């Protein structure tokens, strides 16, 4: 008859063996440590994001700041979202969706089309680091 301690020991040993097998270098993604978001992007740099946010895009001739305001908190139009303080993963995912054509907006789709993964990560880091002044858009239309 097998006692409970023996079963527990065998279970722990099997779990350790499974973890060891998974931690080998075969198939290891060397960029995994550099990924910092659920959107699968590299780590964003706030300073680079600030510079990008103030750079006029080729597609529209506008910068992020032109439409979303200083630090993303003073939108040109009441229907444009405030970006300051928003979750970085949300911002990154939204930009990826605009870039990939899965989310559409007359300006944002064109603006995001040429962005690299690093630029998206940087913009998300910058706007996510700004003070939050987020509000819902109920009654804005």
**In sequence order, what are the beta bridge partners of 35?**
42
Which residue numbers in the chain have pLDDT < 70? 1-39, 135-137
pLDDT value at residue 28: 35
The string of pLDDT tens digits covering residues 38-77 is 668 999 999 999 999 999 988 889 999 999 998 999 999 9
pLDDT value of residue 124? 97
pLDDT of the residue at 59 = 84
The set of residues, in sequence order, having a beta carbon less than 8 Å from that of 126 and lying 6+ positions away, is 44, 46, 47, 48, 49, 50, 52, 53
């Amino acid at each position: 008859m097998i006692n409970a301690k023996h079963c527990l020991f065998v279970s722990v040993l099997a779990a350790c063996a499974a973890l060891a097998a998974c931690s080998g270098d075969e198939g290891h993604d060397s960029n995994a440590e550099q990924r910092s978001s659920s959107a699968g992007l590299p780590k964003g740099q706030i300073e680079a994001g600030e510079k990008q946010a103030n750079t006029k895009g080729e597609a529209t001739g506008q910068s992020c700041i032109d439409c979303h305001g200083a630090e993303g908190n003073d939108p040109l139009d009441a229907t444009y979202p405030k970006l300051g303080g928003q979750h970085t993963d949300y911002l990154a995912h939204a930009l990826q969706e605009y870039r990939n054509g899965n989310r559409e907006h007359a300006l944002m789709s064109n603006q995001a089309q040429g962005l690299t993964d690093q630029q998206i990560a940087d913009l998300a880091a910058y706007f996510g680091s700004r003070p939050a002044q987020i509000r819902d858009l109920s009654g804005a239309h």
